[in-house]
Structure 1
């Protein structure tokens, strides 16, 4: 290279030097451009669960807008935390969800310094941009796709931020339409969908119909894998899916009724936690008009499939509140059917949990069977309490205050009246049934296996148990499940469950309720009183009183072999269509805390069998049975009355009253002596406490005891209490919500029609409460309605003294507990 050339090259490099610095300059230019771009914050609890579409739209407009997406904590977006909302040129808030109320002050503060637009609801927060300024914003938002979100950003930029250009109008989709993954577009109504389905599926009209209601955003956002799985699984199991999308929750179930007003489905899977988020009562009315069971279905938005399967909580604790809302809507059987999946590109999608989808569909089809099957063909199992495995402990769980024998006798009569096959023989009354249950229908104990002094199979109690089981089998009052049959069923259980059983109870068939024949063949025995297609049977014992190892164990106790056999026999031996336990402790089996898994013990034991359980109102809604055992719980109210003082406290009261008339210290010492046994309740030393303090504490204690409600006898399902107990119950209810309730005699007189001695408003309340107490026959109506696969309207829980509305009159003669 010549010197001249070298000089020219040096000059060229020097001239080029600024160009080589361009990356730094470009960075500064990009930063400057970013600061010059209008800034938009989008806050949405819904987008936080599924931000993929809005993220894609924001990326499309990254050159002209600086867009940040926020949730409210949880989900896939950061919470607004310490974000300075006033630094944005526009804050867009989706007005959905009560959690927004916690951020009202921050949004109000931002609205004083910048633009705040609230879309899709204004119940919880408000902005300063009127809807009239952006009349099409809601149409863009509700028809959420990448294209519509992109156009929304253009629209807001042009309307509110002074950006040039015009936005394309929103691409609008039907608010409600019928959907199928095998069809290119939606159907406008159920008739059009069913006409297409008849061409596609042979025998479509004969198939049981399962409605599937879900949000339109899933289909528009190409995120309907869970819905598609439900649809396809319903078809593969022999049903006809009727999938309906909705853009919002208002007035959606009406579309599942045909032109004649009758339901076009036999059961409904609702992929949401509420029927109508904005108007709870309207949603309940919609479900009541539809008249079929509404079953839960949801996706875990925060965990992937492996995380959900491994998590022992299920819905708990973060989504327990969601279950409470569902229960208040009359939605039953909470079930997770999907989980989160994050693609390599960061897109968040819903992934079906295959075993859960299959189980959700199978249980839905079981409810359709109840809805379609004639009563005479339905096969039922009704279980009762027999925990101590002797004749004295048969009937109702003591803390339910249910007269199980009388309730069973009454229920059998109601079933016969409604056309169920309960046999041709006369049905027993309560006394005859009680004798038969004690003699032939109790569980049988062979003693406490493993305890000191128990000689195993040589023990006298074991020999007596064998003789009793043999007698029952010979008389036809028990079912024998041969060991080989049980093993065939048992081996279908997941290995982990079988290992848990055998670790606690030994190899099958175990030792509880096992009969060894003279030929050495063993059978598991289930006591069973047969009434046509209805079997009345004791629920299996828990096992603590039959096995010393179980009694000493800690943690959840897995079911023993006879327990497993009972539940498997119901579906595989008796081929039951529904299970109606007056007692069960199924909800206490190991497994997820809320929302069972198909391969948990609850899932494997209850299987696809509809579980309909009368539950005392004072049991706080039977939450465990609803959330852990897929039970539809139906409330009943044991009669209550104000407790009179027991003899020892009555004597103490009399002694206390006597001290007011005497200056003799011996009277006070007598009171101190009687009060000593109640020192714990009084929370003081009766012997040493100053007299004024002791007297005041005793007066409070005695008043509390005397005013406390107590059960009066056992309740009979569908039967109101007699006149005396009804009056005492009304009196207790009045004492629960009045500072000075009228005397019991006044209550009795008003109920009898004589209101002369009661103020008008008090008399009206007495008559109202008496009418509610007299409405007990509706309890039996609710059982029969549930057995028809109908929707059961939810009602308040808690006992009638704490909450008289628990006995309010529900439409359609239904009273249910959620």
Structure 2
């Protein structure tokens, strides 16, 4: 049985308590002539000053002792592990503070996971005003309760960014294709996602202390902390700039190229969803210009000026430019933006697609021989409607949609660099399930500027309306493009639209995508379940397939299911931000009851 006093020393931990525990044992167990030792207790959570090691229960007390305080400047709250504070592993945290303070932010350090009932003293001033604009929380599972943390974050109502520590060196991480090891993803990604954290980013690694050549400690990854700083700055702008001045890009999918193929999975994008979004933006005070905001005008403008053009119709590029509605990026300007990318990423792009000046995809040459990248677009004041570029040109576009081996071509790169540096977007919206940004080459998770997805989204706030039942691919968007997911409903179905075989396969595919982030063995087991069910159902025969050999064929099966389900949705696709009619809801409920064989008559009637 452990001695209670000794247990208290150990549980409270820290250098002082561990030394006192040894001295206490010397006094009590060995009879040495030593002073009596008392455990130093710490609260489960508190505000803390890293320089003085003081703890505070109120914001006013913290501010009074905070030497770098800049009156009138914004605050950012940074969470640290209690164990780091006790063991004085503070180098990386002080480096965070230096970056933020040098760029005009006050820093509020706190440790632990306070419940929402305790938030008033920590995050609010005496006037009851919320102090921090953003929370930066170190991912972890020890002492974390997803429900408690989620309730706190919902109460605060501010962005919570997931700062990840990697128990590897920066060099090992840079060379790794996986990024975050599979065994670490539960604590680094899964649990923080359940809490509501967004924009996961590795900010510290474990390095050997040079003076010891053996001991390790945590150091910040400077270029990652600078990327984090820029994202916080972007959120600060978004929170404080008047809506009428904000620049928003709404990205939809014209895949494969053509007027009839504008949309997303189970979502009516053009014109319905675009109309509801523009209408709400107008109500909220965004500048939409003078053009009428109605479904007819949106459909006409987008289908005429806002579609991708296939390689089989090169003259259509000339026609689009002639209308004066396309966005033109001069080759020289693109080359300046392109030079900002990591040299390793440039090398990957050029190995596949050549130099920028040799590009041919969506390139237009004027009478003087000057080259431009052409971006289809429709402008409503400060809101840009624009299709995400296709992943390839002459290749099989359906296959390339999920191909993570082929880097983006120059027009694709120009599109996202324009949003960052030309259009100066305050936020982008990827409308619906799903785009291709999160499927570009690079690390599986824990990306950096050498990975295409991370480089192209840059510091942009990426809002991503996503269908609620595609969890697996939604995680891909969160982890590889910093997506802030806003779920939308599935469309309602009647009895004719319910296909239990396809529904089961969709569920298995989603489970497989989730399993890939947890365990290779579990993912392989789910893959086998999909194959066995596909064989039993006969769907492979319908597709002319003998087997499902790899992820590429699995994605082909998945999109075949989506196409069939969409074609047999007699009640129509969902419109974002709009509830289905009561009649559709009634038919949908009847269809669900029809599919469930174990319901009683009373339950069916209800």
Return the TM-score normalized by structure 2.
Answer: 0.80
Partner of 2:182: 317
Gap regions ≥5 residues in structure 2: 502-533, 542-564
Within 5 Å, which residues of 2 pair with 1:220-231?
A: 220-231=86-97
Partner of 1:5: none
SS at match of 2:285: coil
Partner of 1:695: none
SS at match of 1:269: strand
From the superposition, tell whether residues 553 and 401 of structure 1 become closer, same or farther in structure 2 (CA, over 3 Å).
closer
One of 287, 292, 296 as aligned partner of 2:158 = 292
Distance 2:592 2:578 in 1: 19
One of 138, 148, 155 as aligned partner of 2:17 = 148
Partner of 1:411: 277
Residues 407 and 717 of structure 1 are in contact (CA less than 8 Å); yes or no, is this contact kept in structure 2? yes
Partner of 2:589: 730
Distance 1:184 1:683 in 2: 64
Partner of 2:234: 366
Residues 612 and 633 of structure 1 are in contact (CA less than 8 Å); yes or no, is this contact kept in structure 2? yes
Gap regions ≥5 residues in structure 1: 1-114, 118-132, 448-460, 650-677, 686-707, 743-758, 767-818
Deviations along 1:299-328, one digit per CA (max 9) or x if unpaired, are 112x11100111111224122222111111
Residues 543 and 560 of structure 1 are in contact (CA less than 8 Å); yes or no, is this contact kept in structure 2? yes
Distance 1:625 1:683 in 2: 28
Partner of 1:603: 454
Partner of 1:566: 415
Residues 383 and 581 of structure 1 are in contact (CA less than 8 Å); yes or no, is this contact kept in structure 2? yes
Deviation of residue 625 (structure 1)?
0.2
One of 612, 617, 622 as aligned partner of 2:463 = 612
Distance 1:633 1:342 in 2: 38
Partner of 1:164: 31
Distance 1:194 1:605 in 2: 38
Residues 479 and 527 of structure 1 are in contact (CA less than 8 Å); yes or no, is this contact kept in structure 2? yes
Which structure would you say has the larger Rg?
A: 1
From the superposition, tell whether residues 226 and 502 of structure 1 become closer, same or farther in structure 2 (CA, over 3 Å).
same
Partner of 2:484: 632
* Alignment coverage as a number of residue pairs: 536
Distance 1:277 1:547 in 2: 49
Partner of 1:137: 7
One of 314, 339, 358 as aligned partner of 2:205 = 339
Partner of 1:259: 126
Residues 545 and 551 of structure 1 are in contact (CA less than 8 Å); yes or no, is this contact kept in structure 2? no
Residues 180 and 231 of structure 1 are in contact (CA less than 8 Å); yes or no, is this contact kept in structure 2? no
Return the TM-score normalized by structure 1.
Answer: 0.61
Distance 1:521 1:196 in 2: 60
From the superposition, tell whether residues 640 and 595 of structure 1 become closer, same or farther in structure 2 (CA, over 3 Å).
farther
Residues 165 and 203 of structure 2 are in contact (CA less than 8 Å); yes or no, is this contact kept in structure 1? yes
Within 5 Å, which residues of 2 pair with 1:360-439?
A: 360-394=228-262, 396-397=263-264, 399-429=265-295, 431-439=296-304
Deviation of residue 606 (structure 1)?
0.7
Asked if 1:480 corresponds to 2:328, the answer is: yes
Within 5 Å, which residues of 2 pair with 1:61-140?
A: 115=1, 117=2, 134-135=4-5, 137-138=7-8, 140=9
Within 5 Å, which residues of 2 pair with 1:754-793?
A: 759=602, 766=606
Asked if 1:270 corresponds to 2:137, the answer is: yes
Deviations along 1:38-78, one digit per CA (max 9) or x if unpaired, are xxxxxxxxxxxxxxxxxxxxxxxxxxxxxxxxxxxxxxxxx
From the superposition, tell whether residues 144 and 611 of structure 1 become closer, same or farther in structure 2 (CA, over 3 Å).
same
Within 5 Å, which residues of 2 pair with 1:171-210?
A: 171-173=40-42, 175-181=44-50, 185-195=54-64, 200=68, 202=70, 204-205=71-72, 207-210=73-76
Residues 641 and 731 of structure 1 are in contact (CA less than 8 Å); yes or no, is this contact kept in structure 2? no
Residues 445 and 546 of structure 1 are in contact (CA less than 8 Å); yes or no, is this contact kept in structure 2? no
From the superposition, tell whether residues 572 and 684 of structure 1 become closer, same or farther in structure 2 (CA, over 3 Å).
closer
Residues 464 and 483 of structure 2 are in contact (CA less than 8 Å); yes or no, is this contact kept in structure 1? yes
Deviation of residue 586 (structure 1)?
0.7
Deviation of residue 594 (structure 1)?
1.4
Distance 1:225 1:684 in 2: 56
For the aligned residue pairs, the C-alpha RMSD in angstroms reads 3.3
Deviations along 1:345-381, one digit per CA (max 9) or x if unpaired, are 6332101111111112221222222222222222110
Deviation of residue 733 (structure 1)?
3.9
Asked if 1:513 corresponds to 2:334, the answer is: no
